[in-house]
Amino acid sequence: MSGSQKELIPDNYKLLFAEEQIRQRMVALGAEIARDFKGKKPILIGVLNGGVMFLADLIRHINIDLEIDFVRISSYGDARESSGHIKILKPLSADIKGRSVLVVDDIVDSGLSVQFLNNMLTAFKPDSLKFASLLFKPNRLRVKIDLHYIGFEIEDTYVVGYGLDDAQVKRNLRGIYTIQ
C-alpha cells in the first residue's frame, strides 16, 4: 500500500479486497461485457456517487465502443442502511430508446435501487437493460432482481473504499474495507 493512503485508513478498518484483486476482477468483467455487447455500442449508466470509480475502471477494460452517462439517486443519505425511499437527484441525460443499456452501480443489498432504476429506465424503451454491481449482498435482498454482472459477493457487512463512502468520505481508498 502506498504511504499516501496509510494515514487515511483508521485502525478499525479491515481490508476485504485489495487494489490488485479489484483490478483483476475489472479485467475479467470488462472482457465478459465486451463479449456480450460485441457488435453493439452500449451506453453504460453510472450510478453516482459510489459507482463512479467502478465505472471508470471498468470501461478501461471493455474493448468495444461505448458511451457513458450518469444518474444519481439516493436511498441512504448519510446513513449506513438504505431507507427504502429512493429519490432521483440527477436524471439521465442520454436518450436510451432502442439502445443496449448497462447500469453500473457500486453495491446492491436490498435490491430496491435496482428495481427502481429498472422500472424508471424501462419506461424509456431501451433495446436491452442489464445491471452490473461491484458488490452484491445476497443475504440482504428484499426484492427479486436480475444482476447480470457481479464483481464480488459479500456478507452483510458495511464496506467503504473504492467509491463506497462512510458519511461521504473514504471513497478515495484504493481497496475495499470492512469496519470492525
- State the catalytic residues: 109
* Cell numbers 474493448: residue: 63
Q: Which residues contact 59 (CB under 8 A, 6 or more apart)?
A: 30, 44, 66, 68
How confident is the model over 93-137, as pLDDT tens digits? Answer: 999 999 999 999 999 999 999 999 999 999 999 999 999 999 999
The reported pTM is: 0.91
How confident is the model over 25-65, as pLDDT tens digits? Answer: 999 999 999 999 999 999 999 999 889 999 999 999 999 99
* Cell numbers 428484499: residue: 142
Domains in the chain: ranges and CATH = 19-156 (3.40.50.2020)
